Structure 1
Amino acid sequence: MPDILAATLRSLAFLTRLPPVSRAFSGVHPLGSDAHAFPLAGLVAALPSALAVLLFGAFGLSPSTIAILAIALLVAVTGGLHEDGLSDVADGLGGHHPKDRALEIMKDSRIGAYGALALVLSLMLRASLLADIVATGTGQAALALLAAAAASRGAMAWLWSSLPSARDSGVAARVGQPSARSGRIAAFIGATLLVIAGAIIAGLAGAVLPLLAGLLVLGQFRKFLVRRLGGQTGDCVGAAQQITEIAALLGLALALG
């Protein structure tokens, strides 16, 4: 089995609820070593939602209904993994807690007000932005969904590789941090797919605006993590996926507006 295919299948086993392919797990493969395949795993994870957009569009459903169903399906495929990270980060870093207390809150499985607000806003923004794109055409929306999924997972791999772990325990620390090279490769693949898809969807503006929006929010989020935690956790990596996906969809919606 080709390495990139095996790495993608192993990534899918962690990042989604899709059944694992046993042939891809021969030997020892820490998740961090497969980070370069995260954008491709994102494409696969978003494929059912992209197909749903086309299908429901053919049945004449409204753009808002199509978008909500597509996002719901994407959450179901991923098991809400990244949404969980976003809510934990919002709860831990939403107040003015010192680092140790913030990390303690982020480990708590209970959701607080900041986490609930972050989840609601993330779901609403993604559904609303996708609906705006669906209104211009279901083909464009399906492609946008795939591109945003790939780019945001490249972003999370880069963030994970570019910052030290904020604590010695936790998922991100246990599964092995990606190398800087793996993080750069993942970011490049994700960004390239986003630029190509954006150009197909909305020309030059579609190629530029989503990329700039993603880079801006990811860069600011990284600075925020350095200031508050001095590094990253698995929850932070998941939150990076969420905010970058929103930024990519916003850029594409603006380009089509």
Structure 2
Amino acid sequence: MHQPKALIEATLRATAFLTRLSISNRVFESLGGPAEAQSPENAATGEPGSGRPATQRARRYQLGDDAHAFPLVGLVAAAPAAILLLVLPALGLSPLVCGFVAVAALVATTGALHEDGLADVADGLFGHQPREKALEIMHDSRVGTYGAVALVLSLGLRAALLAELCATRPLLAAAAILATASASRGAMAAFWALTPPATGTGLAARAGRPSRPKGEASLLIGGVIALCLGLPLAGLLPTLAAAALAAVGLVLLRRFVLRRIGGQTGDCLGAAQQLCEMALLLGVSLGS
């Protein structure tokens, strides 16, 4: 009984940080102390408001401790989009419209958190700038040409792939967006755990890098969820193709960021999630 309750609490805490959904501060009370001190924003950024030093707040709650729950957060975040992919085709909307609306719902639920990371990584690492300049560009909130192109490709490709699935099999499209949201966040947690930080001052560092076992557990949980959702509907070959494409993409991204900036940042985590989600959807669509 204790373990399911702990997993639910971990999922709610991670959901409070990784989505725009309103989560009660009570889920942080099990960590001790007043609820306001447990807000993920205070814990990760060290902003004032908790009445305690930033170092104490970081010890009180670190997002990395809940990394094993990331795949479950993916299911929560993608649930509205999955429902839309089932309802909108029945209302007579075209598959392309359904795909774009579903992606828009997913972006709205997460607050474009991972898309922001993808854009920053594209701007910083594809401009042939030295390491320090690249990190400075990634920290800049403005979106440049590379970032804009990356966002267009990510949003457009995911919408088009979902539209292709929705055209003939809306149920598979709904299952695919749930499976890829879960598996990609499990892969993101593993990427975080297995890749050293590029700096000690970024959001990913302050949020508490997860241990290797937690990262591996998150990857396993996300993979199992994706298999349970995708295998019965998509079949073996598309499922294997999706897993292979995501794995190759994650390995290449890890090698790239290690070579360019010496490790990962919070933006790199968002890029990892986006890349895996695109690869997984592409793999499912190839054989479906």
Note if contact 1:198-1:210 (Cα within 8 Å) is conserved in structure 2: no
Kindly indicate whether structure 1 or structure 2 has the higher relative contact order, using CA contacts under 8 Å at least 6 residues apart. 1
In the alignment, structure 1 residue 242 sits paired with structure 2 residue 277: no
Q: Structure 1 CA distance, aligned partners of 2:131 and 2:139?
A: 13
Matches of 2:144 and 2:96, distance apart in 1: 28
Counterparts of residues 35-114 of structure 1 (less than 5 Å): 35-114=67-146
SS class of match (1:135): helix
CA deviation string 1:136-158 (max 9, x = no partner): 21111000000000011001101
Once the two structures are aligned, what percentage of the paired residues are identical? 53
Alignment match, 2:25 = 22
Distance (whole Å) between structure 2 residues aligned to residue 193 and residue 110 of structure 1:
36
User: Which residue of the partner structure matches residue 178 of structure 1?
Assistant: 210
> TM (normalized to structure 1)?
0.97
- Supply the AA of the counterpart residue of 1:191: G
Q: 2 CA distance for matches of 1:95 and 1:22?
A: 41
The answer on 1:232 being equivalent to 2:235 is: no
2:13 corresponds to: 10
Match for residue 208 of structure 1 among 240, 246, 254: 240
Kindly report the root-mean-square deviation, in angstroms, between the aligned alpha carbons of the 2 structures. Answer: 1.0
CA distance in 1, matches of 2:25, 2:210: 22
> Moved runs in structure 1, 4+ residues, more than 3 A?
none
Residues 127 and 65 (structure 1 numbering): CA distance in 2 closer, same or farther, change over 3 Å? same
Structure 2 unaligned regions, length at least 5: 32-59
CA contact (8 A) 1:195 1:206 kept: no
Cα distance in 1, alignment partners of residues 182 and 138 from structure 2: 26
Structure-to-structure mapping, 1:101-250, within 5 angstroms: 101-250=133-282
The one-letter amino acid of 1:20's match is I
How many Å apart are 1:206 and its aligned residue?
A: 2.8
For residues 277 and 129 of structure 2, the distance between their equivalents in structure 1, rounded to whole angstroms, comes to 27
Which amino acid in the other structure matches residue 196 of structure 1? Answer: C
Q: Which has the larger radius of gyration?
A: 2
After superposition, what is the alpha-carbon deviation per residue over 1:47-101, rounded to whole angstroms, capped at 9, x for unaligned?
Answer: 0000011111211211101000000010000000000000000000011111111
In 2, the alpha carbon distance for the partners of 1:116 and 1:206 equals 30
Cα displacement string for residues 7-27 of structure 1 (whole angstroms, at most 9, x for unaligned residues): 100111010000012221112
SS of aligned partner of 1:178:
coil
CA distance in 2, matches of 1:215, 1:147: 15
Query: In 2, distance between residues paired with 1:193 and 1:209?
Result: 16
Q: Give the unaligned 5+ runs of structure 1.
A: none
- Quote how far apart the aligned CAs of 1:197 are: 2.2
C-alpha contact (below 8 Å) 2:239/2:283 kept by paired residues: no
Corresponding position of 2:63:
31
Q: What TM-score do the two structures reach when normalised by structure 2?
A: 0.87
Amino acid at match of 1:12: T
